[in-house]
Amino acid sequence: MAQAEETRARLLAVHPGLAVVIVPVTASGDKVLDRPLAEIGGKALWTKELDAWLLGGEIDIAVHSAKDVETERPDWLTIAAVLPREDVRDVLVGAASLAALPPGARIGTSAPRRAAQALHLRPDCSVVMFRGNVQTRLAKLDAGEAEVTLLAAAGLNRLGQTGVGAPLDPQHWLPAPGQGAIAIECRTADAATRALLAGIDHLPSRHAVMAERALLAALGGNCHSPIAVLTQAAGTDLTMRAAIFSPDGRERVDAEHRFAPGDHAGPAALAADLLAQASAAIRAHFSGPEGG
């Protein structure tokens, strides 16, 4: 809802007098919280209700966290705008750092990327499943279900909960593809809505997010695949550093590429580089050209 409110505010700033009505939709991903996302339908659980409403004409646009939108989308849908990207960092809640955790500490997360990255750094720790919104996860932490949890800085910022936990340096703890960005979809054939959304499309954020989605597509990753990536501007180019892991965090492969915005051959080359270095234990979780 915070993302929808931001979208409406940006639309009204560019198109004064435009009538924008927010239609709340409870996604399946918010209804089933006792199992990992990958076991109950993956990222489609965040989009399928909104897709149906778009298809039926009940809504004109759908507002998503970019990291929750499946890599492959129907042709009749298009990402017509990406809003200015928020903080891409993860925040560690419950301790000053992973290094400060006691031996055998429990880390609450349901994200394969966070779990693998944490276990790579702290193989003595264990991961317990945390799903739900920010309040639900913080309540689980307060109840003693884990010593720490990990949350997106962007979500905390949008909810006004700054100062919660310790942000992790993205140079050392790589974010999720699309993290911190709001992606707005509409019907591809709806030229009028696409024109309205063009006014709030933030090109640098779009270039970074679409490059990260191209990386995901080339890797053939899914909800089980631990993928982490940081994309930054380098003059007129983008630099993308990515890592893929075995789910238990024991194995990690890193690579970096530089390419022009909009050049999806760059992310594809990075994906090929990562998969070429990866062991069978990692490639089993990817279906790219070099994967399983």
**In a shared domain, residues 50 and 34:** yes
CATH number at residue 222: 3.30.160.40
Q: Is residue 172 part of a domain?
A: no
**In a shared domain, residues 15 and 78:** yes
CA distances from 129 to 34, 66, 277, 285 (A): 8, 22, 30, 20
Q: Is residue 176 part of a domain?
A: no
Domain count within the chain? 3
**In a shared domain, residues 161 and 105:** yes
The pLDDT score that the predictor gives to residue 290 is 40
Q: Is residue 174 part of a domain?
A: no
The pLDDT score that the predictor gives to residue 78 is 97
H helices of 68-186, in order, are 112-121, 134-142, 153-158
Catalytic residue numbers read 68
**In a shared domain, residues 224 and 264:** yes
**In a shared domain, residues 105 and 147:** yes
228-286, pLDDT tens digit by residue? 999 999 999 999 999 999 999 999 999 999 999 999 999 999 999 999 999 999 999 88
CATH number at residue 152: 3.40.190.10
Q: Is residue 37 part of a domain?
A: yes
**Cα gap 90→115, rounded to integer Å:** 12
Q: Is residue 274 part of a domain?
A: yes
**In a shared domain, residues 73 and 105:** no
The pLDDT score that the predictor gives to residue 80 is 98
DSSP 64: E
Q: Report the predicted TM-score, pTM, of the whole model to 2 decimal places.
A: 0.90
**In a shared domain, residues 185 and 78:** yes
The pLDDT score that the predictor gives to residue 58 is 93
**In a shared domain, residues 129 and 191:** no
User: Between the CA atoms of 74, 75, 80 and 83, what dihedral angle is there, to the nearest 10 degrees?
Assistant: 30
DSSP string across 150-176: EEEHHHHHHTT-TT-SEEPPTTTS---
User: Between the CA atoms of 271, 273, 275 and 279, what dihedral angle is there, to the nearest 10 degrees?
Assistant: -150
Residues near 259 by beta carbon (within 8 Å), at least 6 away in sequence: 211, 237, 238, 240, 265, 266, 267, 269
**Token output for 14:** 């560019």
Low-confidence residues of the chain: pLDDT under 70: 26-46, 288-292
Q: Is residue 12 part of a domain?
A: yes
CA 36, distance to chain mean position in Å, is 16
**In a shared domain, residues 191 and 48:** yes
- The end-to-end CA distance of the chain, in Å, is 38
**In a shared domain, residues 151 and 213:** no
**In a shared domain, residues 161 and 97:** yes
The pLDDT score that the predictor gives to residue 133 is 84
Q: Is residue 185 part of a domain?
A: yes
Domain of 225?
202-286
174-189, pLDDT tens digit by residue? 999 999 999 999 999 9
φ, ψ for residue 149 (rounded to 5)? -140, 170
Q: Is residue 146 part of a domain?
A: yes
**In a shared domain, residues 139 and 278:** no
